């Protein structure tokens, strides 16, 4: 009977420590992923400016932007979804907002990141391409600032998150022992 209790305690401790390790790595990954997506979105928006100046139909420009991006880069689904929403007959602002909301990488984005992206919807489809380009460039700059902040947070907190989770799990295991 005594061996079974110790086996359960050891199993519980291993479970707690491994769960904490997984949690720490998940948090660390989300910090890295946000930096990657913000960087990718900046590149995609630069490409979008070129597409706006090239295509007379916004849906075609958005779809070309989507197709030009690699599958693993953040932003591809954002542009494809916006183009599909426009084809469905939505207004440009609504189509872009819904695309930002449904963007699969948005799990990693913070509210301030999404707010910057929403600004694009206000001018997208404007007949003056200079205005669109100016606003998109401002959003690119804002995303660049957010990326730098995210990189600082990742550098500062990324390595320590896993260590804190493991330390907390070890302390909890010792207390429960």
Residue 167 pLDDT? 75
DSSP string, the chain: -HHHHHHHHHHHHHHHHHHHHHHHHHHHHHHHHHHHHHHHHHHHHHHHHHHHHH-SSHHHHHHHHHHHS-TTSTTHHHHHHHHHHHHTT--HHHHHHHHHHH-GGGGT--HHHHHHHHHHHHHTT-S-HHHHHHHHHHHHHHHHHHHHHHHHHHHHHHHHHHHHHHHHHHHHHHHH-
Q: Structural domain boundaries of the chain?
A: 2-176
Residue whose C-alpha is closest to residue 61's, from 53, 47, 51: 51
* φ, ψ dihedrals at 71, nearest 5°: -60, -40
Residue whose C-alpha is closest to residue 117's, from 100, 141, 138: 100
Q: What is the dihedral of CA 41, 47, 51, 57, to 10 degrees?
A: -10
HSE toward the beta carbon, residue 40, CA cutoff 13 A? 23
Residues of the chain below pLDDT 50: none
Q: CA 172, CA 170: separation in Å to the nearest integer? A: 5
């Amino acid at each position: 009977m005594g061996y079974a209790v110790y086996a359960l305690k050891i199993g519980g401790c291993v479970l707690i420590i491994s769960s904490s390790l997984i949690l720490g790595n998940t948090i660390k990954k989300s910090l890295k992923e946000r930096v990657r997506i913000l960087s990718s979105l900046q590149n995609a928006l630069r490409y979008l400016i070129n597409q706006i100046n090239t295509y007379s139909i916004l849906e075609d420009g958005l779809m070309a932007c989507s197709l030009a991006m690699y599958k693993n880069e953040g932003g591809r689904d954002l542009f494809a979804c916006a183009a599909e929403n426009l084809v469905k007959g939505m207004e440009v602002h609504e189509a872009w907002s819904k695309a930002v909301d449904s963007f699969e990488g948005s799990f990693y984005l913070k509210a301030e990141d999404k707010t910057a992206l929403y600004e694009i919807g206000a001018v997208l489809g404007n007949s003056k391409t200079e205005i669109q380009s100016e606003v998109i460039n401002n959003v690119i700059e804002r995303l660049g600032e957010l990326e730098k902040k995210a990189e600082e947070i990742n550098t500062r907190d990324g390595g320590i998150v896993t260590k804190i989770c493991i330390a907390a799990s070890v302390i909890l295991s010792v207390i429960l022992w």
